Amino acid sequence: MGPMTLAAHDNALVWLGFDGQKHAPDTSKWPLTTGHPVLNQAREQLLQYFAAERSVFDVPLDLSGGTAFQQTVWHALLGIPFGGTTSYGSIGHALGKPAAVRAVGGAVGRNPVSIIVPCHRVVGSNGALTGYAGGVDRKIALLQLESAP
C-alpha cells in the first residue's frame, strides 16, 4: 500500500491517508510524535487489518473537518459492512438525496480517514471500480483483502 500518514488530536483520529493521495492536507508542518495513544491504537488496528485479523475498527474518530453534507456521507460510509460494497447512488438514496450522486462522489473522495471510514467500498452503479483518492490500484487491493477467505 505504501507509506501512510496518520494524525490525531488529543482523543481522536482526524486523518489517515496514503502518500500522494488526492485532496490530502499539507502535512509538512505537522509535528511528528511517538507514544500518542490514538495513533498507536490506529496503527495496531491497521496492522491487524492488513494481516486479515481485523474487520472492524474502534479507533475514536473526529469527522468534523468537512461540511455538514460531507460529514453525513462519511458517517454513511461507516455503515458499509466489511467485504461489501455500495454505490454512490445508493448512498444518495439512503441520505434522501437521490440526485446528489456527484456530490456524494465528491464527499467520498475527500474522506479524511481512509480505510477506517471505508470509502474504498463505494463503486459505480454498474460495479465499476471508479476513482479512489488513494489510487484505484489501492482500492482494488483493499477490496481483494476484504474478500479473501
The CA distance from 98 to 93, in Å, is: 4
Q: Phi then psi for 41, rounded to 5 degrees?
A: -65, -45
Q: Which three cell numbers stand for residue 12?
A: 481522536
- Annotated catalytic residue, options 108, 119, 142, 143: 119
Would you say how long the chain is, in residues? 149
Q: How far lies 70's CA from each of 15, 53, 74, 128, in Å?
A: 15, 30, 6, 23
119 part of the active site:
yes
Q: How far lies 143's CA from each of 45, 104, 149, in Å?
A: 17, 20, 12
Cβ within 8 Å of residue 72, ≥6 positions away: 95, 107
Residues forming the active site: 119
